[in-house]
């Protein structure tokens, strides 16, 4: 029972981390200059565009505007929700790493070797999560608008997001992963309680 609960916890943490940090939470549609932009974003990428570097210099900061205040409020609420979920999942990972570190030390590994292994594991996972975030953002697109205005008539001072669509799968999976962790923890605590037999 304890082993099964631990396996479920590891799986739930992995799903939670991917759903929170790598999977897209929102689709943004907007315009910049003569371009139509569609972006898929994780909550932590916020309003910054993946594709704008193709139009302007990568170090150029483009001012961001929203068509309505409700859209800006929605993005702010998603960021708060994502931040809360990310604190939980990062905390769960830290607890798991501490358990792994103690297990390695109990099995005779030196502190230096165990810490280096943990560091390598964390570095590898951060790289994987970042690459997954970029991969899952591939539906983002940048296409030219078909209009015949002159350069002087094109609005180029800011990026305007005109539509926000919440992609619910990632937030739902992130919350479900927390629930699965809590259920696994409850089962593990129950398995640690001694069983008493009633005798007449």
Cα separation, 38 vs 146, in Å, equals 16
Q: What is the pTM of this model?
A: 0.82
- The pairing of strands 26-32 and 35-41 is antiparallel
- The pairing of strands 35-41 and 159-166 is unpaired
19 with 177: CB under 8 angstroms? yes
Per residue in 125-138, pLDDT (tens digit) is 999 999 998 898 88
Per residue in 133-183, pLDDT (tens digit) is 889 888 888 888 766 566 666 666 788 899 999 999 999 999 999 999 998
Ranked by mean pLDDT, the top range of 52-56, 100-104, 196-200 is 100-104
**And the tokens for 132?**
């997954």
CB-based contacts of 76, cutoff 8 Å, min separation 6: none
pLDDT for 102 beyond 60: yes
The proportion of the chain whose per-residue pLDDT surpasses 70, expressed as a percent, equals 88
The pLDDT of residue 197 is 47
Cα separation, 65 vs 25, in Å, equals 19
Classify residue 130 as left (phi > 0), alpha (psi -120 to 50) or beta: alpha
Angstrom CA distances, 180 to 18, 71, 122, 185, 187, stand at: 15, 32, 23, 9, 11
Among 33-37, 45-49, 77-81, where is mean pLDDT lowest? Answer: 45-49
């Amino acid at each position: 029972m304890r082993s099964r609960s631990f396996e479920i916890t590891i799986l739930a943490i992995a799903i939670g981390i991917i759903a929170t940090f790598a999977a897209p939470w929102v689709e943004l549609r907007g315009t910049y200059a003569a371009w139509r932009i569609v972006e898929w974003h994780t909550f932590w990428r916020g309003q910054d565009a993946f594709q704008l570097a193709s139009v302007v210099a990568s170090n150029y900061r483009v001012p961001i505007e929203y068509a309505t205040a409700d859209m800006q409020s929605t993005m702010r609420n998603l960021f708060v929700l994502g931040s809360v979920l990310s604190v939980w999942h990062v905390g769960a990972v830290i607890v798991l790493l501490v358990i792994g570190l103690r297990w390695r030390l109990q099995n005779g590994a030196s502190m230096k070797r165990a810490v280096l292994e943990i560091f390598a594991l964390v570095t590898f996972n951060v790289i994987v999560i970042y690459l997954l975030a970029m991969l899952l953002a591939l539906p983002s697109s940048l296409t030219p608008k078909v209009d015949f205005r002159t350069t002087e008539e094109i609005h180029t001072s800011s990026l305007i997001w005109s539509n926000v669509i919440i992609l619910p799968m990632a937030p739902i999976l992130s919350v479900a992963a927390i629930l699965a962790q809590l259920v696994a923890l409850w089962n593990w605590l129950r398995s640690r309680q001694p069983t008493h037999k009633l005798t007449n």
